[in-house]
Each structure stands twice: as C-alpha cells, then as structure tokens.
Amino acid sequence: MQRQLLPTPKLSPNSVVLEAVQVRFSGEQDEQVEAIWREVEEIPDVETRRRLEWNGFWCGVVGTQLPPALREQLDRPQSLLPDERGNAPTQGTRLQCRRGARKSWSCQQMQDELNVLLCEEEGTLRGRTYQQARCLLAIRCFPEGDGSVRVQVMPEIEHGETKPRHFGDGGLWQVRVGQEREVFERLAAELEISPGETLIVSCTPERKGLGGRFFGVDEGRSLLLLRLVQTQMDNLFAPEESGQAISAGH
C-alpha cells in the first residue's frame, strides 16, 4: 500500500514545512549506517565539518530518493524513537517554521545527570556535568527565492531547575518558565536543501563527545531526518511530488 501523507498546510509568508523523524540503528547495523553515509553529501566547508567531527557529529544531505538501507529501517516502526512525551511515532512530525524562528527537536529523553566532553578549537578538551538535562537541536530555516531553504541546526542542552528565565531569540528577549539553556554556537551547521531533499544529523561511528550524547542509543546510534516538504515560495511542489515521505509503515 502507498504511504499516506499528511494534508498540505496553508503557509504564512516566509514559512516552510519540514517533516522530522528520528530512527534508531543497533550496534550490529553499523555497516548499514556506513552505507547510508556514503550517499550523503556532507557539509562543504572543511573547517565546520572538522569541528563537528571532533565533537562527534555528522551532518549532510541526501536527495529525493532515500538510501535503501534507510528506507528499510523506516519501514520498521519499532526503530523510530519516541517523542519527548514518550509517544511512539507512526509517521513523521510536521514542523512549520517561520523564517529565522527557532524550533527545537528533543534528541534524547531527559537524563538525571549528563556528562559531556567538548573539543575546543585548539584540541583542548573541556568536561562538564549537567543535572536534569535534555539534548535539543535548535532548527532555523531561511527560505530562498528559488524554493530552496537554508536549514541551520545547532545543539543545545537544557538543564537544571524549571523557573522563570529570560531568553533571547531573533534579537528579542522574553521571559518564560523553563530550564537554563546552554547553546553550542560553534557547533552550528547550515546546509541548503530543496523540496523533497532530507538533511540528516547523527553521531560519528565512535559515538564520542557531544554528538554521542545526542545520538548514541545503547550500543547503536540514531539519525535525525529533516525533509523539506513545502515552501511558500515554491508552490510547484506538492508533498506527493517532493520525494519519498519519511513516515514509517505502509
């Protein structure tokens, strides 16, 4: 049976829709993950790519046709990670993103204690321990005039006591109830994708550093997929024409 796609939402100006899902691979499936990554176009900027790899992150883009090993894994609903509320997903989550506005994706369930090792510019290692910590990716989208979108992903850790705090986003400060947030701006990645293409974020095979804390799962690892479904600036692409859905099941 053909996969069922969610209806196309009406978009406000300068908005885009991403479909997101996080899929788990066991330690015995490392060869499948390596096969997937051979089909990924990695970040072209060498310095950014090196900085991410030092800290255990992989990031890149695949075209409208997903690699076979990834399609097979998506067809196993048990391989999809539950959302931050613990619900098991049966399809991708739609994220409607305004230009430059922050959306977040929780990569792991909250942990009582999280030990992190960071690699700085000169190779210096810095360790830190967080209490009541959640690993998040901040997602920001910047639509281009040709229908493509620059997607920025930036790791963050929310931690500590929940209380009223000042947060800044897009040059504006606001007060909201939440945890303290550490933002790793040096580890931001930005890639351009067109409708139907998918941005993939994961950890390196060693599951080391910050990337390992975000995407290491037991003895395996997970991959976060962000597929560009729709942009306000390009109405030629309906979801059924924009490559394969990343929803699970048939």
Return the structure tokens found at 58.
């992989």
pLDDT of 228:
96
- The mean per-residue pLDDT over the stretch 28-57 comes to 95
Asked whether 18 and 95 are in contact (CB, 8 A), the reply is yes
- Beta strands 41-42 and 57-62 are antiparallel
pLDDT of 88:
57
Confidence of residue 178 (pLDDT cuts 50, 70, 90): confident
Return the structure tokens found at 161.
């006591």
What's 27's DSSP letter?
G
Which range is least confidently modeled, 101-115, 127-141, 167-181?
A: 167-181
Read off φ and ψ for residue 222, nearest 5 degrees. -120, 160
Q: What is the value of pTM for the model shown?
A: 0.84
Cα pseudo-dihedral 19, 64, 207, 120, rounded to 10: -90
229: left (phi over 0), alpha (psi -120 to 50) or beta: alpha
160: left (phi over 0), alpha (psi -120 to 50) or beta: left
Stated as kind and residue range, the H or E segment containing 215 is helix 209-215
Return the structure tokens found at 118.
């960071």
pLDDT of 163:
82
SS3 readout for 46-110: HHHHHHHHHCCEEEEEECCCCCHHHHHHHCCHHHECCCCCCCCCCCCEEEEEEECCCEEEECCCC
pLDDT of 123:
75
The mean pLDDT value of the chain amounts to 86
Which range is least confidently modeled, 22-36, 78-92, 210-224?
A: 78-92
Q: How many CA atoms lie within 13 A of 15 on its CB side?
A: 13
Residue ranges of the domains in the chain?
A: 16-241
pLDDT of 7:
54
- The mean per-residue pLDDT over the stretch 181-187 comes to 96
Residues 6+ away with beta carbon under 8 Å from 196: 63, 64, 227, 228, 237, 241, 242, 243, 244
Is the per-residue pLDDT at 8 higher than 70?
no
pLDDT of 84:
60
CA dist list (Å): 85 to 44, 48, 105, 144, 181: 35, 33, 12, 34, 20
